[in-house]
A and B are shown apart, each in its own frame.
Chain A
Amino acid sequence: MEEFTKKYWKDYQKEIADDNFYYERSCIRQSFFPGSEAAFLKILRDILGKNIIDDPNQHTCTGIGYHSDIVPFDTTMTVVARIFSLMKDHGVNNFIPSCVTSFGIFNEVVETWNHSPEEYEKTKLFLKQATGRDFEIPQNISHASDIIYKYRKELKEKMPYRLVNRNTGKPLRVVEHIGCHYSKLFAKKSEGGMEFPKVLVGMIEEWGGEVIDYPERRHCCGFGFRQYLVMANRGYSVANTKKKFESMQPYKPDFIVANCPGCTMFMDRWQYTIAEMEGKTYDDNKMGIPVLTYEEMAGLLLGFNPWDLGLQLHQVQVEPLLDKIGIPYDPKDKYVGKSGNFLGEPEKPENLVTVYGK
Chain B
Amino acid sequence: MKNWGFKIPDSRTLDLDKEDLKLYNKIVEKVPSARRCIMCGMCSATCSAANHTNFNFRLVHHKFRMGMFESLASELDKCMLCGKCRMLCPRGVNTRAVIYNMRIILDNMYYKNI
Give the B-binding residues of A (Cβ under 8 A). 231-236, 238-239, 242-243, 273-274, 276-279, 350-351
Contact = CB atoms under 8 A, between A and B. Distances in A.
A276 B8 CA distance: 12
A234 B1 contact: no
Contacts, number: 36
Nearest to A236: B9
Contacts of A235: 6-9
A235 B9 CA distance: 6
Given A235-B6, A278-B8, A350-B1, 10 more contacts: A232-B6, A233-B6, A234-B6, A235-B9, A238-B8, A242-B8, A276-B2, A277-B2, A277-B4, A279-B1
Contacts of B8: 235, 238-239, 242, 274, 277-278
A234 B4 contact: yes
A139 B9 CA distance: 45
B1 A277 contact: yes
A358 to B, nearest CB: 21
Nearest to B12: A239
B5 A239 contact: no
A276 B1 CA distance: 6
Interface in B1-56: 1-11
Contacts of B7: 235
B11 A243 contact: yes
How many interface residues does chain B have, given as a range?
10 to 19
Contacts of A231: 4-6
Closest 6 CB pairs of A and B: A276-B2, A235-B6, A234-B6, A238-B8, A235-B8, A235-B7
Nearest to B5: A231
A236 B10 CA distance: 9
Contacts of A234: 4, 6
Contacts of A276: 1-2
B1 A278 contact: yes
A278 B4 CA distance: 12
A239 B1 contact: no
Contacts of B4: 231, 234, 273, 277
B70 to A, nearest CB: 19
Nearest to B7: A235
A308 B10 CA distance: 39
Contacts of B11: 239, 243
15 contacts: A231-B6, A233-B6, A234-B4, A234-B6, A238-B8, A239-B8, A239-B9, A239-B10, A243-B11, A273-B4, A276-B1, A276-B2, A277-B4, A278-B1, A279-B1
A239 B9 CA distance: 6
A55 to B, nearest CB: 38
A107 B97 CA distance: 59
A276 B7 CA distance: 12
A277 B3 CA distance: 7
A305 to B, nearest CB: 33
B14 to A, nearest CB: 14
A94 B9 CA distance: 43
Nearest to A235: B6
Contacts of A351: 1
A264 to B, nearest CB: 20
A203 to B, nearest CB: 31
Contacts of B5: 231-232
A239 B10 CA distance: 7
A238 to B, nearest CB: 5
